[in-house]
Amino acid sequence: MRLRQAALATTLALGMTGCAAMPAASQAATYKTGVGDNNPAMFASPAYKALKTRITRFIAPYNLVTTPADLATFRQWLAGANADHVQPLIAFYHSRVHGTKLPSIATYTTDIKKFMKDFPSIKNYTPWNEENRGNVTISGGASYDSPSAKLSAEYYVALKKVCKGCTIVGADVLDGSNPKPTITYIRQFQADVKKLHSSLPTIWGLHNYSDTNRFRDAGTKDVLAAVKGQVWLTETGGLVNFGGAFPYSLTRANKAVAYMFKLAKSNKRITRLYIYNWFGEPSTARFDAGLVDQTGTVPRPAYFTVLKQLTGL
């Protein structure tokens, strides 16, 4: 442990001074890399700063501005991102107050207008996070449905109208062990956008956890074939723990992160990669993909793979 801590201290010091040469793999990369996490403490971490990333992602309740607790957390998060000169991508999602209810187009439009009025400097948005996720059970036994392809298309068009000149990700979809339902959802979304007399997105979002952690590329290739333009891997990473399919393993997660970079490099249309997430969870948690432990003080093996990829250290 002492040797690892000494090595980390040296690594971070070199990272801050920029003494290391970039590896050939990093020089050849055609995509930007960032880390997404809603915890503002990430930005203060020396280990995070050593990565020298310039993009990040926040999952925001669509009505964040009207919820004081959420608004306070986000202001702190944004202050950290701005201090580190990191560009945010905001992905709107369910309300934490009315989590089981999808907003109408009128409500959605009103609330995102308030958000943009309060934060005019933010120009990168996703209309809805993981639109095709399906029914999800939350704490207390309540559940919510993800929007249909039609409703997702309406959210996309509404966001385009509200935020002219912004960079807007189109359908932001989750892959799966079987990618066919994802492709079906994308096709329906495209048809519904056309019915609304709007142009199709030029940027698409994909959470390719299944490919990354099963060491395959089928779902990623299928999505690339189904859309035109850029594909941003808006959420992906090595699963330390996820239900029964991926029991707790730091070693497997590290291998998955290494493969994640290979997937990102596999196609020049993949132009951004957002690793999720920074902070880990206890070993009993259902989902954990953190690059550091739950305290934020101990980097995991996957962190060093990311550090080497991004800085050569």
Q: What is the pLDDT of residues 37-56, one digit of tens each?
A: 999 999 999 999 999 999 99
Residue 20 in any domain: the answer is no
Identify the weakest region by mean pLDDT among 124-133, 208-217, 281-290.
281-290
pLDDT band for 5, please (50, 70, 90 cuts).
very low
Residue 154 in any domain: the answer is yes
The CA distance from 56 to 137, in Å, is 27
Residue 236 in any domain: the answer is yes
Residue 28 in any domain: the answer is no
Residues 305 and 262: beta-carbon distance below 8 Å: no
Residue 265 in any domain: the answer is yes
pLDDT band for 138, please (50, 70, 90 cuts).
low
What pLDDT, on the 0 to 100 scale, is given for residue 96? 87
C-alpha pair distances (Å), 291 with each of 13, 101, 253, 254, 259: 19, 32, 9, 9, 15
3-state secondary structure of 279: strand
Residue 25 in any domain: the answer is no
Residue 14 in any domain: the answer is no
How many domains does the chain contain in total? 1
Residues 302 and 291: beta-carbon distance below 8 Å: yes
Nearest to 212 by CA among 166, 280, 266: 266
Looking at residue 195, its amino acid is: K
C-alpha pair distances (Å), 106 with each of 99, 123, 162, 193, 311: 17, 21, 12, 17, 45
The mean pLDDT of the chain is 90
Q: What percent of the chain has pLDDT over 90?
A: 81
The secondary structure element, H or E, covering residue 55 is strand 55-61
Tokens of 164: 């002219």
The secondary structure element, H or E, covering residue 255 is helix 250-265
Mean local confidence (pLDDT), 77-90: 98
Taken in order 131, 137, 140, 141, is the CA torsion positive or negative?
positive
What pLDDT, on the 0 to 100 scale, is given for residue 140? 65
Identify the weakest region by mean pLDDT among 99-113, 137-151, 231-245.
137-151
What pLDDT, on the 0 to 100 scale, is given for residue 139? 62
What pLDDT, on the 0 to 100 scale, is given for residue 6? 43
Mean local confidence (pLDDT), 83-99: 93
Q: What is the pTM of this model?
A: 0.90
What's the residue count for the chain?
Answer: 313
Q: What is the CATH number of the domain that holds 251?
A: 3.20.20.80
The CA distance from 307 to 25, in Å, is 13
| pLDDT tens string 215-252 | 999 999 999 999 999 999 999 999 999 988 999 999 99
Looking at residue 92, its amino acid is: F
The CA distance from 153 to 89, in Å, is 19
Mean local confidence (pLDDT), 17-39: 64
What pLDDT, on the 0 to 100 scale, is given for residue 134? 84
Residue 216 in any domain: the answer is yes
149-162 and 105-118 helices, crossing angle to 10°: 40
What pLDDT, on the 0 to 100 scale, is given for residue 97? 85
Mean local confidence (pLDDT), 52-79: 97
By residue range, what is the domain housing residue 81?
34-311
